[in-house]
Amino acid sequence: MTGLSIKEEIEKANKEAVERMMESDPLWVDIGLAKKVMPGAKDYKLTHAGPPIEWGRMSGPLRGAVIGAALYEGWAENPVEAEKLAKSGEIEFEPNHHYNAVGPMAGVISPSMPVIVLKDRKYGNKTFSLLNEGIGKVLRYGAYDKEVLDRLKWIRDTLGEVLSATIKEVKKEKEGVELKPIMSQALHMGDECHNRHVAATSLFLREITPYMMQTGISKGSLVEAYNFMNKNNFTFLGFAMAAAKAMALAAHNIKYSTIATVMTRNGTDIGIWVSSLGNQWFTAPAPVPKGVWFPGYSEKDANPDIGDSSIMETAGIGGFAMAASPAIVSWVGGSVSFAVENTQRMYEITYTKHKYFTIPYLNFQGSPTGVDIRKVVKTGITPTINTGIAHKEPGIGQVGAGIVTFPIEMFKEALKVFAERHGV
Amino acid sequence: MISVKAKYIGLNVKEILDEEETGVIGKPVNIFKNTIYIKTSGNNLIVVTRKNVRAPININIMGREDFRLCVKPFKDTRLMDNSLEIGNLEIDLRNADIYRQSLLGDTGLHLKSALFKMRRQVGLALKTVSILMYNEDSAWLMAYKEIRKAAEEMFNLEEKFNPVEVKEILGNLVGLGPGFTPTGDDFIRGFLIIYNALSRKTGGDVVTFNEDFLLTRTNWASAKLIIHEQNLSTDEFTWGAVSSLLQGNPEGFFQWILNLPPIGYTSGLDKSMGVFTAIKLISSRLNVKIRDLDILNNLPG
């Protein structure tokens, strides 16, 4: 101890944690196959969204993504074989967060998938994420038919190669592509940077297109790659998630800090990390989101919440910045007044207002940043986030988008362990 | 008129309403955004709340209305055939479930054994709750100073089950500190529910205050809440903690006690400190050593 009371220690630690979270400066610096650029990635190992889970307890969409990844890697010839392999224990499963990686929805990263590499210029950490496949029938929502697998291969062979050449061109001029200014600007253009990346995707393309054109890659591939990214409003999601992971990681492992540095779901469980409690998981059953459904689907089709994408709220944007994004309610449901209320409610459980992520509608106040587990337990208010909704059966894909409120139990448990470990 | 539906009606409220004729039955005396306190013509308290915590004296309603915008103080509260009308608020009472507080049955466990089973978790629960007491406002700090003094006096009593002395010390805390239900009152409520529940289990005397005394020091609604609590009528979270304690269920106790902090500005926290103080007093009387139950050092200030 330093002579400070525990409350002073917590205050000091939390101040430092959120300062680091806000000052983190993630740059996109590389892209490559996971087994080449992401430490820990290897054959017969899949990392996934959320807290740890074994095959027997995996939800439908996560199982679907595992089956799809096994087919994509060529570890199995067909879904039945893939399922048998997954069940046999021959495939190792581990959370993305154990490798400073994040993936949306099922978030499965296999060794031959291209992953985006970010470097935090301020604190030196590297983080990783996936390229976005688009919406609907995609691997991250548990779909794995030929169309899905063909797209994944195209992403690897064409989009991945184009982006790899692009970032090399960028690095001839500068250290990498700065992502925080894009996110900050997108918040002023109607994105909340979790479920709406319309502005961010445009800004990102504007930033990288000149470098893409200098790569010397064939015009056909460039046009294909550009059109794919341009048509997909979620192109920036993977970059934003890796950036948010870098921010949250910068706030991790600060002694006495009660700030949550991971909040994530695997479709069965929801889990958090707390800065001063290291990589200890605190989990609870994942809730089913309330949503807006794609035609032909309803709540009865929905899987409980899934994905590492709540890293956006962990870093102070996404659902926490809904007031910046009135149009988001057409995608996730609710009303514009709800969007504003949600942001205002999140101020009650966060430590500070972000220095760089500001919300025009709230007179440019900073977004609510740094979920403090003390405030969650004290107020009974838990994080409310925006999310995509996967079908509960493997092989189908996305059925809607919506809003989900985290259960309080894991925050209570984390606070108990904090009290046990640090005493008063 | 704004219409809302009642989700739960506490048994105590149901009994009051069953005895009343239709027509004017009382007046709202305190109105907050989420809660209305009604004084009935028979001097009973009914609490109408949008919050999720149930209690024998509560009507829990669904809806998002700010009560301050539709109810004025001291206007008539009318009981209709199927509803309760408070100003411009109409509460549909049909289809509401009745909330019954469970009885303090025989758990088959001696109190000393139950407390012994709790010896590790109670101290940890206190530590956990005290981390949440980060309000260092001077008005609260002054109240905590007095509470600390009172707790110390009680711990130093030679006869720790002597209700007369305990009552005298607690009486000085009535109306103490800030808040609609003052910090001292909240502490007393938490203390009395545990002290009286455990005393009854051991055949000891309970501590009770009469309304006239309380009204010399605090407001009517807060006095009524103390009276309900001393008669073992409380919110479901506190009751869950009491029941878990008597069953020697440490995990249950921890979960219930950590439901209290969101109540009020500091009411839930202050009440939980009363709970811990009573546990310490009674366990010390029964020679059960509860680890790390250091109330005095866990109060702010």
Per-residue pLDDT 10s for chain B (301 aa) are 899 999 999 999 999 999 999 999 999 999 999 999 999 999 999 999 999 899 999 999 988 889 999 898 888 999 999 999 999 999 999 999 999 998 877 766 788 888 888 988 899 999 999 999 876 678 888 999 999 999 999 999 877 678 899 999 999 999 999 999 999 999 999 999 999 999 888 888 899 999 999 999 999 999 999 999 999 999 999 999 999 999 999 999 999 999 999 999 999 999 999 999 999 998 888 888 888 888 888 888 7
- Same domain assignment for residues A156 and A268: no
Angle ∠(B255,B256,B260) on CA atoms, nearest 5: 115
- Same domain assignment for residues A221 and A199: yes
Identify the bridge partners of residue A94 per DSSP, sorted by sequence position: A47
ipTM higher than the 0.90 cut: no
Place of tokens 């610096």: A29
- Could you list the residue range(s) of the whole structural domain that residue A334 is in? 253-422
- Same domain assignment for residues B29 and B52: yes
Q: Locate the chain B residue with the closest alpha carbon to A382.
A: B262
The predicted model gives A376-380 an average pLDDT of 96
The predicted model gives A168-172 an average pLDDT of 98
Judged by CB atoms closer than 8 Å, whether chains meet at B131 and A416 is answered as no
- Same domain assignment for residues A119 and A215: yes
pLDDT tens digit sequence for A248-274: 999 999 999 999 999 999 999 999 999
- Same domain assignment for residues B146 and B71: no
For all residues of chain A together, what is the average pLDDT? 95
Facing residue for B132 by CB, picked from A374, A420, A423: A374
Burial A247-259 (b: 16+ CB within 10 A, else e): bbbbbbebebbbb
Q: How many domains does chain B have?
A: 2
- Same domain assignment for residues B82 and B118: no
**Rounded Cα gap, residues A408 and B215, in angstroms:** 38
Helix (H, G, I), strand (E, B) or coil at A294: coil
- Same domain assignment for residues A347 and A415: yes
- Same domain assignment for residues A214 and A315: no
Q: Which residue, A213, A239, A265, sits at the end of a domain?
A: A239
CATH code (residue A297): 3.90.1700.10
**Rounded Cα gap, residues B203 and A38, in angstroms:** 67
- Same domain assignment for residues A232 and A376: no
CATH code (residue A32): 3.90.1710.10
- Same domain assignment for residues A292 and A339: yes
Give how far B245 is from chain A: nearest CA, Å.
18
Facing residue for A379 by CB, picked from B127, B262, B300: B262
Facing residue for A378 by CB, picked from B124, B255, B262: B262
- Same domain assignment for residues B75 and B150: no
Judged by CB atoms closer than 8 Å, whether chains meet at B261 and A423 is answered as no
Q: Which residue, A190, A205, A239, sits at the end of a domain?
A: A239
The predicted model gives A374-403 an average pLDDT of 91
Q: Which residue, B66, B99, B132, sits at the end of a domain?
A: B99
- Same domain assignment for residues B48 and B154: no
- Same domain assignment for residues A187 and A270: no
Q: Locate the chain A residue with the closest alpha carbon to B261.
A: A378
Whether the predicted pLDDT of A1 surpasses 60: no
- Same domain assignment for residues A89 and A44: yes
Q: Which residue, A207, A239, A271, sits at the end of a domain?
A: A239
Q: What are phi and psi of B124, to 5 degrees?
A: -70, -40
Judge contact between A202 and A181, C-beta under 8 A. Answer: no
Facing residue for B131 by CB, picked from A381, A409, A424: A424
Q: What integer pLDDT is reported at residue B133 of this predicted model?
A: 87
Judged by CB atoms closer than 8 Å, whether chains meet at B124 and A416 is answered as yes
Give how far B55 is from chain A: nearest CA, Å.
18
Whether the predicted pLDDT of A135 surpasses 90: no
- Same domain assignment for residues A151 and A126: yes
Judged by CB atoms closer than 8 Å, whether chains meet at A10 and B131 is answered as yes
Total length of chain A? 424
Q: What integer pLDDT is reported at residue B160 of this predicted model?
A: 65
Q: Locate the chain A residue with the closest alpha carbon to B293.
A: A424
- Same domain assignment for residues A214 and A260: no
- Could you list the residue range(s) of the whole structural domain that residue B216 is in? 111-298
Residue B105: inside a domain, yes or no? Answer: no
Element (H, E) at A177: strand A177-178
- Same domain assignment for residues A314 and A165: no
Longest dimension (CA), chain B: 59
pLDDT tens digit sequence for A174-221: 999 999 999 999 999 999 999 999 999 999 999 999 999 999 999 999
Residue B280: inside a domain, yes or no? Answer: yes
Residues 6+ apart with CB under 8 A from A186: A193, A197, A199, A200, A203, A236
- Same domain assignment for residues B129 and B29: no
Q: How many domains does chain A have?
A: 2
Residue A394: inside a domain, yes or no? Answer: yes
Residue B106: inside a domain, yes or no? Answer: no
Confidence band (pLDDT; 50, 70, 90) for A300? Answer: very high
